Amino acid sequence: MIYKCVIVDDEPLAHSVLKNYIDKSENLNIEQQFYTAPDARIYLRETLPDILFLDIQMPEETGIQLLQSLPQKPITIFTTAFLHYSIEGFELGVVDYLVKPIRYERFCRAVRRATDFLELLQLRTRVENDGFEQGNILVKARNKRYSVERSSITHVQALKDYAIIYTDDSKHVVRSTMKEIHELLGSDNFVRVHKSFIVAKNKAPHYAHDRIEFGEFEIPVGRKYKKGILDLIIR
The number of residues in the chain equals: 235
* Per-residue pLDDT reduced to its tens digit, 38-67: 999 999 999 999 999 999 999 889 999 999
Domain shared by 89 and 178, yes or no: no
Query: What is the H or E stretch that residue 176 is in?
Result: none
**Cα three-residue angle 141-145-146, rounded to 5 degrees:** 95
- pTM, two decimal places: 0.74
Taking the C-alpha atoms of residue 152 and residue 197, their distance in angstroms, rounded to an integer, is 16
The alpha helices in the chain, defined as continuous H runs, are 12-24, 37-44, 63-69, 86-91, 104-121, 178-185, 230-233
Cβ neighbours of residue 177 closer than 8 Å, sequence gap 6 or more: 158, 163
What is the CATH number for 148? 2.40.50.1020
**Hey, which residues does 140 pair with through a beta bridge?**
126, 145
Q: Which of 121, 152, 173 is the last residue of a domain?
A: 121
Domain shared by 100 and 182, yes or no: no
Domain that holds residue 181: 126-233
Domain shared by 94 and 131, yes or no: no
Q: Which of 121, 145, 171 is the last residue of a domain?
A: 121
Domain shared by 146 and 115, yes or no: no
The winner for highest mean pLDDT among 41-50, 83-92, 216-225 is 41-50
Domain shared by 171 and 94, yes or no: no
Domain shared by 41 and 106, yes or no: yes
What is the CATH number for 91? 3.40.50.2300
Count of structural domains, the chain: 2
